[in-house]
Chains A and B, each alone.
Chain A
Amino acid sequence: MKYSAFALLREAFRGHRGWTPAWRKAEPKPHYDVVIIGGGGHGLATAFYLATEHGITNVAVLEKGYIGSGNAGRNTTIIRSNYLLPGNEPFYEWSMKLWEGLEQNLNYNAMVSQRGVLNLYHSDAQRDAFARRGNAMRLHGVDAELLHRDGVRRMVPFLDYDNARFPIHGGLLQRRGGTARHDAVVWGYARGADTRGVDIIENCEVTGLSIVNGRVTGVDTTRGTIRAKKVAMAVAGNTSRVAALAGLRLPIESHVLQAFVSEGIKPAIDCVVTFGAGHFYISQSDKGGLVFGGDIDGYNSYAWRGNLPIVEDVLEEGMAIWPGLGRIRMLRFWGGLMDMSMDGSPIIDRTPVDGLYLNAGWCYGGFKATPASGWCFAHLVARDEPYPVAAALRLDRFATGALIDERGAGAQPNLH
């Protein structure tokens, strides 16, 4: 069913009784051309682009819970393409371009809002580093503006500009960055894929991979065995566990990242602001809640929840730039499972097992990558060769030394 202003009007007169489910509850079939493990944003986007860009529709997306129950439904929804390194920037910019046309392409309101992402800097050295990043972005044809203190003050007048320890000197602004509604992205891709024949199978956990003579032939699941010509993993925080089913050890650790939302308040902040002297970011949802977060907790975790020291740390950083936050009540906070890679950058590649493909290492920043990740992974699975903007996101870069380490932190996942 196509969504339009006309459909809305028609349903308004019919008491909204004509809306149909956005996707079918599919039952597993015995065989597919492609099985995608993981019904998060990346798995569903991959299915969508396999169908629309490559004509491959005999596809199943297997999800152990309900779709969007992982990080796709837990993130702070920031989208941006303000990376420094050549291995990353063209990829994230391709994602931004796909975000810009996503809602028309999906016929779904994903609430993509290019409200601007403003990274504050607090010292001369940091200004130089941000100027360098902005220049690198512009060399890749991406928008970037370096603002001085007054420019920042015009955008967000209520920050603490007189903080003695972390004075705000200015910011690097990407106006095309912003936010999108995370659940709507999941639902939009699911509906788009389903309409084109993809089976979305929920409550179906993959428990085994069958491999014959070095080639994958299917998966064992809690809903039976399913044969497949190709199997594509997009399971984010559970990557090491699923890859272990194929005997693979990966350059990945699972870590917990927490996020926070306040009670709803009137419109206060109309862009995304990040604190440069630590790690804190904040925006406001359409419901009025302030959505914010900071660093990962910093130790391996599959627990879906974090600990109090990070809660304290995040709130302290928030107070350092916006003291008014102290007057607002917190509503809730939660955690998600990060697939932290050893250089902080993602992997979209084949694996040593024929027909088995890997999409992982998204760390705390894979929501913004959802469209391009799906696009590039679909290309890889369909054609067995990387899409050009994802060509550097190789699994063997850790062995060859061609790392993509934006932070310059080395092989220490909790520091990226």
Chain B
Amino acid sequence: MRINCPYCGPRGNEEFAYLGDATVRRPDPAAEDAAAQFYEYVYLRDNPAGSHRELWYHGGGCRSWLVVTRNIRTHEISDVAFADAGDKP
């Protein structure tokens, strides 16, 4: 599996560290149901058998956080972009 880093170009996946699902969002700790929301955010995952948006960190390269869109059945990567502030863990 090679990830096409927007800054460094295509690199082997051993240069990257995987964090996981990029669609979960850190909830507002002041919300009334914060405990329930944090439980979902920390533990529950869709884990789909198909397209997955996920966070990878290019530790062996430019040290950027990336959002990779990958088909989990085939490992085929359709999109790689820099993570923005909302995506970052």
Contact surface of A with B, Cβ cutoff 8 Å:
238, 240-241, 244, 249-254, 298-303, 307, 309, 312, 342, 398-399, 411-414
Tell me the residues in window 33-62 of chain B with beta carbons closer than 8 Å to chain A beta carbons: 36, 39-40, 42-49, 52, 54
Residues of A within 8 A of B47 (CB): 240-241, 250, 252-254, 300
> Is the Cβ of B49 less than 8 Å from the Cβ of A241?
yes
Q: Is the CB of A398 within 8 A of B13?
A: no
Q: How far is the CA of A241 from the CA of B47 in the complex (A)?
A: 8
Q: Find out whether the CB atom of A300 lies under 8 angstroms from the CB atom of B52.
A: yes
Tell me whether A398 and B43 are in contact (CB under 8 A).
yes
CB pair A250–B44 under 8 Å, yes or no, is: yes
Excluding A300-B47, A302-B73, A411-B43, 5 further A-B contacts by CB distance (< 8 Å) are A241-B49, A298-B18, A302-B72, A398-B43, A399-B36
- Check B72 against A254 for contact (C-beta < 8 Å): yes
A309 contact set on B, CB distance < 8 A? 12-14
Q: Is B75 touching A301 in the complex (CB atoms < 8 A)?
A: yes
Instruction: Tell yes or no: B85 within 8 A of A by CB.
Output: no
Minimum CB distance partner of A401 in chain B: B39
A-B contacts, 15 listed (Cβ < 8 Å): A238-B49, A241-B47, A241-B49, A249-B40, A249-B45, A251-B44, A251-B45, A299-B18, A300-B20, A300-B52, A302-B49, A342-B42, A398-B43, A399-B36, A414-B20
**Interchain CA distance A396-B46 in the complex, whole Å:** 17
B30 within 8 A of A: no
Whether A411 and B18, one on each chain, are in contact in the complex, defined by CB atoms closer than 8 angstroms, is no
With A301-B72, A309-B14: A249-B46 Cβ-Cβ less than 8 Å: yes
CB B13 to nearest CB in A, in angstroms, measures 6
Closest to A342 in B: B43
Interface of B toward A, CB cutoff 8 Å: 1, 12-14, 18-21, 36, 39-40, 42-49, 52, 54, 70, 72-75
Do most interface residues of chain A lie in helix, strand or loop, or is the interface mixed?
mixed
Q: Closest Cβ of chain B: how far from A399's Cβ, in Å?
A: 5
Q: Which residues of B contact A413 (CB under 8 A)?
A: 20
CA gap between A342 and B46 in the complex, in Å: 13
Q: Would B20 and A412 count as touching, CB distance under 8 A?
A: yes
Question: Within the assembled complex, what's the spacing in Å between the Cα atoms of A277 and B57?
Answer: 24
Residues of B within 8 A of A249 (CB): 40, 44-46
- Give A403's nearest chain B residue, CB to CB: B43
The residue of chain B having its C-beta at the shortest distance from the C-beta of A340 within the complex is B47
When C-beta atoms are compared, the residue in chain A nearest to B76 turns out to be: A303
- Contact flag A253-B20 (CB < 8 Å), given A241-B49, A301-B72, A301-B75: yes
A105 CB → nearest B CB, Å: 35
Task: Across the interface, name the chain A residue whose C-beta is closest to B40.
Answer: A249
The answer to whether A398 and B20 have CB atoms under 8 Å apart is no
Closest 3 CB pairs of A and B: A309-B14, A240-B47, A251-B43
- Asked if residues A303 and B20 are in contact (CB atoms below 8 Å), the reply is no
Given the complex, which residues of A lie within 8 Å of B20, measured CB to CB? 253, 300, 412-414
Q: Are B73 and A303 in contact (CB under 8 A)?
A: yes
CA gap between A298 and B39 in the complex, in Å:
23
Contact partner of B1 among A300, A307, A411, CB < 8 A?
A307
A334 to chain B, nearest CB (A): 15
Q: CB-nearest residue of chain B relative to A309?
A: B14
Which B residues lie within 8 Å of A399 (CB)?
36, 39, 43
B residues less than 8 Å from A303 (CB atoms): 72-75
